[in-house]
Amino acid sequence: MGLQLFDLSGRRALITGSSQGIGFALAQGLAAAGARVVLNGRDADRLAAAAAQIPGAQMLAFDATDHDGVRAAVDGFEASHGAIDILVNNAGMQHRAPLEEFPAEAFERLLQTNIASVFHVGQAVARHMIARGRGRIINIASVQTALARPSIAPYTATKGAVGNLTKGMATDWARHGLNCNAIAPGYFETPLNAALMADPAFTDWLEKRTPAGRWGRVEELQGACIFLASDAASFVNGHILYVDGGITASL
């Protein structure tokens, strides 16, 4: 079989939060492997600009935190365009503040964006996948699934929940032919990390703390996503794949 195991030709992939950053890079990688990609976001203009950069890309605008809206969008797309074979739950946000001063409303937004969206979109898509007896769900976790840093305790809680929800998805849905796994990125050059990247002291700390000695590049996440979406990962289920330059392996 060789490289044919990684061929995604004929499959359609929905990537949430894919108008920029990690989501957009993953969409590009899946498209390069042969998948037809469907980009999702809430900003229609930004979404259209992203789709214009990937030949054949489709758009499906919805708010991943709106359970009923997600269900309607997914059901409508499946009815009019066909199966979603691969789902990448990438939508996410960050908010930094000391835990004792963390705003309650920011905590709630993190819960809705980072973990409730994985449930909402995952369930809506999985119902169709279960009926077909096959599907791939890839949730985007984080090094904060396993580790913590000051000022981001609620974010860490949400990403820990993403890891355990991934295991729960696999436990419930593997019997129906679904493969549910997660990718846990380390520190990557993304808009979400712009403030950290602009801080020389943080970059110095990160380069010393990470065995690879540098920030990650978003395209370095594409291989992991293609693998988990492909037949090469047919017996991989409930796994959290850390792509972090070794940061979780080292003290």
DSSP character string of 5-39:
GG--TT-EEEETT-SSHHHHHHHHHHHHTTPEEEE
**3-state SS assignment for residue 58:** strand
Partners of residue 15 on adjacent β-strands: 39, 88
pTM of the model: 0.97
Question: What are the residues whose beta carbons fall under 8 Å from the beta carbon of 147, sequence distance 6 or more?
Answer: 156, 247, 248
Instruction: Look at residue 237 in the predicted model and tell me its pLDDT.
Output: 98
Q: How many domains does the chain have?
A: 1
105 exposure class (CB count in 10 Å sphere: 0-12, 13-18, 19+): exposed
Helix (H) or strand (E) holding 115, with range, is none
- Of 155, 187, 188, 227, which one is the catalytic site residue? 155
- The pair of structure tokens assigned to 17 is 């939060």
Check if 187 is active-site: no
Asked whether residue 159 is domain-assigned, the answer is yes
Q: In CATH, what number is assigned to the domain containing residue 234?
A: 3.40.50.720
What gap in Å lies between CA 37 and CA 14, rounded to an integer? 6
Paired sense of beta strands 135-140 and 58-59, if any: unpaired
Kindly state the DSSP code that residue 211 receives in the 8-state scheme.
T
87 belongs to a structural domain: yes
Within a domain: residue 90?
A: yes
**Strands 86-89 vs 12-15: parallel, antiparallel or unpaired:** parallel
137 part of a folded domain: yes
- Cα gap 20→46, rounded to integer Å: 8
Q: 247 in a domain, yes or no?
A: no
Range of the domain at 38: 2-242
How far apart CA 42 and CA 16 sit, in angstroms, is 10
Does 250 fall in a domain?
no
Low-confidence ranges of the chain (pLDDT < 70): 1
User: Which residues, other chains included, contact 195 with Cβ-Cβ below 8 Å and sequence gap of 6+?
Assistant: 96
Residue 249 forms part of a structural domain:
no
Write down the pLDDT at residue 192. Answer: 79
What are the residues facing 86 on neighbouring strands? 13, 136
Distance CA(62)–CA(108), nearest Å, equals: 19
248 occurs within a structural domain:
no
CA proximity to 6, closest of 238, 180, 228: 228
First to last CA, the chain: 39
